[in-house]
Amino acid sequence: MNVSRSNGRVIALCGGVGGAKLAYGLQYILGSDLTLIVNTGDDFEHLGLKISPDIDTVLYTLSGLANRELGWGRQDESWNFMETLAGLGGETWFRLGDRDLALHAERTRRLRTGETLSSITSSFAAHFGIAAQVLPMSDDPISTVVASSEGVLPFQRYFVERRCAPQVESIHFERAASARASSEVLSALGDPDLQAIIVCPSNPFLSIDPILSVPGIGSAIRAASVPMVAVSPIIGGKAVKGPTDKIMDELGVPRTSKAIAEHYGALIDGLVVDVSDADECEIAGCAVRLAASLMKTDDDRIRLAGETLEFARQLASSPQRAAQRQKL
């Protein structure tokens, strides 16, 4: 595969499964020049353990340990804990494999000693041999809640227990207003060598908006003044996986890549749109790059990451973009 190593730092905003696929390709190309800012709005406490589902998906995917058959969790998993818990009549709606469980137990122990989630995540990433810098969006707890046809649901109750069945009315990020971006996140966004910011094809409403809700992250992105490029999670009017398209319907947003560009608005300079949606190649105020954006194999991930980086590089030298940035 013909991919060139970059000079300078690239930041990617990332949720779980969909985002981690592109993050894998970005890491292949950029190695330690990649910083991932990962959603923690899905984090919750379960069975006394602190669980960070998107961070763990990123750690497992970037280290090649993700369970590709299940589409979540880690490979070579066993389920003794879950089976024993079920036998005891315990709560089993959120499945925790034995190996996965060890990660949550160790994270919980270290958080209780006062260590930050950023520090714990970075030591897990080092343990897994991950070259990229993996940063939680904040060390302060922020909880995504879904106002729905079944009332206000904590995120995992909506997503896992109710399998996204309730109709979404609005989405809120509890405690975001009083949260702070970590010093690691702010220093990555303020890095004078920063070349580009990529928004992975994660769910904009549930995975990227929580990151943007952290006070200081939006303004640091604007101040960075580097090209920001998103990859659309919508292909042919559908999400590849998960409830993005269903939520768009429920929020009255058209299921199109154009609507994704409009959702991010002036924050992004460009959107990568799937080749099958060539009719969406003109979006006012947003440059578009058509690419085969379905990532089935590792080669797909690396190729799409390469094309996305190349698009960002082109935008960096575009006079049109410079004029647009002046207006922000």
Nearer to ligand GDP, 72 or 86 (CB): 72
Give me the least distance between CB of 293 and ligand GDP, in Å please. 4
* Residue nearer to ligand GDP on the CB measure, 30 or 230: 230
Please give the helix or strand (H or E) that residue 82 lies within, else none: helix 80-87
Which residue lies nearer to ligand GDP by CB, 24 or 124?
24
Min separation Cβ 78 and ligand GDP, Å: 23
Q: Which is nearer to ligand GDP, 85 or 294 (CB)?
A: 294
Query: Are 131 and 33 a contacting pair, CB within 8 Å?
Result: no
Q: How far is the CB of 233 from ligand GDP (least distance, A)?
A: 3
Q: Are 10 and 197 in contact (CB under 8 A)?
A: yes
Q: In this structure, what token pair is assigned to residue 271?
A: 């959107």
Give me the least distance between CB of 237 and ligand GDP, in Å please: 11
Question: 6 vs 257, which CB is nearer to ligand GDP?
Answer: 257
Least CB distance to ligand GDP at residue 8 (A)? 25
CB of 326 to ligand GDP, least distance (A): 31
Question: By C-beta, is 82 or 295 nearer to ligand GDP?
Answer: 295
The three-point CA angle 203-207-212 to 5° equals 120
Separation CA 28–CA 181 (nearest Å): 27
What is the C-alpha to C-alpha distance for residues 136 and 278, in angstroms, rounded to an integer? 35
* 3-state DSSP of 118-150: HHHHHHHHHHCCCCCEEEECECCCCEEEEEECC
> Which residues are 290's β-sheet partners?
273
Cβ-proximal residue to ligand GDP, closest one: 18
Is there a contact between 221 and 197 (Cβ–Cβ < 8 Å)?
yes
Helices (H), 134-243: 155-156, 183-189, 209-212, 217-224
Positions touching ligand GDP (CB under 6 A) are 15-19, 21, 54, 57, 201-203, 207, 231-233, 235, 239-242, 244, 293-295
CB of 53 to ligand GDP, least distance (A): 7
What stretch of H or E contains 174? strand 168-174
Quick one: 185 or 248, whose CB is closer to ligand GDP?
248
